[in-house]
Amino acid sequence: MWEYTDAVRDHFFEPRNTGELPDANAIGEVGSLACGDALKLYLKIDENGVITDAKFQTFGCASAIASSSVLTEMVKGKTVDQALEITNRDIVEQLGGLPREKVHCSVMCQEALEAAIADWRGLPAGGPAPGGQIVCACFGVTDEQILHAIRENKLTTAEDVTNYTKAGGACGGCLQDIRRLLDAELGGGQAAEALTVELPRQITNVQRMQMIMQILDRKIRPSLQRDGGDIDLIDVNGKEVAVALRGMCINCPSSRVTLEGFVQNTLRELVDPDLVVRQVRL
């Protein structure tokens, strides 16, 4: 289970500035659905180069939503030059911290901001380090992106690079290449390896059930109710969560997508990555 700060939970449950911005004159898109995270950032920039409005659309985890939400709040009222000074570290700090495995969400936001401003200036998109050779085919991460992350965040291990860029987080086939980039950037042979593995904190069954009920009430149920549906918690048996869909969700042809793609993924992200949601018809 990920440990989230109150600020992350606040921006996830009540994200600011979501949706399209019809009169946006700067748009930055990063990530892809195939890689699991995608962000589209809209900016409205006036004739003096001041960002007067910002909105976002994102497909991703709680950290991606929270990072995108807080970024839109951070850039409003800033000039484009001031906004370009915002780093992923500033986003993480504004959220009171992110799990190290989720820092890449803040990096994605920084890249979207840079891409949007490049769009406004009529420059080619590509973020801080355009071009380069693909190192991680699973997530489409280039050597230039990895080197930028190493320099920007003073990374020293392959695990750090994965946390900041997602490179190496799938099949792991590029980890040796990542280590070579680290060695080259750090002067040769200085790339460190993590010596310890942080074990996840264990939660009791009662705590798990309480957290599931909270997420259902605060995040999942309101979303379904907006489309005329609803959901009831029937039982929690270890890692198995039994629910019943209500209203328009009962006969919806997308009910399986709702259960697996929304309900189950949300509970896995915020409660326990091993939870399995099954539908019960009463």
pLDDT at site 233: 87
Kindly tell me the burial class for residue 41, based on how many C-beta atoms sit within 10 Å of its own C-beta (0-12, 13-18, 19 or more): buried
Is 35 labeled as catalytic in the residue annotation? yes
The pLDDT tens digits for 76-119 are 999 999 999 999 999 999 999 998 888 999 999 999 999 999 99
**CATH code for the structural domain at 6-120:** 3.90.1010.10
**Predicted model pTM:** 0.64
Q: Are 40 and 6 in contact (CB under 8 A)?
A: no
Q: List pLDDT tens digits, range 195-216.
A: 333 434 556 677 778 788 888 8
Q: For the chain, which residues make up each domain, given as ranges?
A: 6-120, 134-186, 205-279
205-279: CATH topology is GMP Synthetase; Chain A, domain 3 (3.30.300)
Task: Report the pLDDT value the prediction gives residue 94, as an integer from 0 to 100.
Answer: 96
pLDDT grade for 62, boundaries at 50, 70 and 90: confident
Residue 76 confidence (pLDDT): 97
Assigned architecture for domain 134-186? Orthogonal Bundle (1.10)
Q: Which of 105, 109, 136, 138 is catalytic?
A: 105
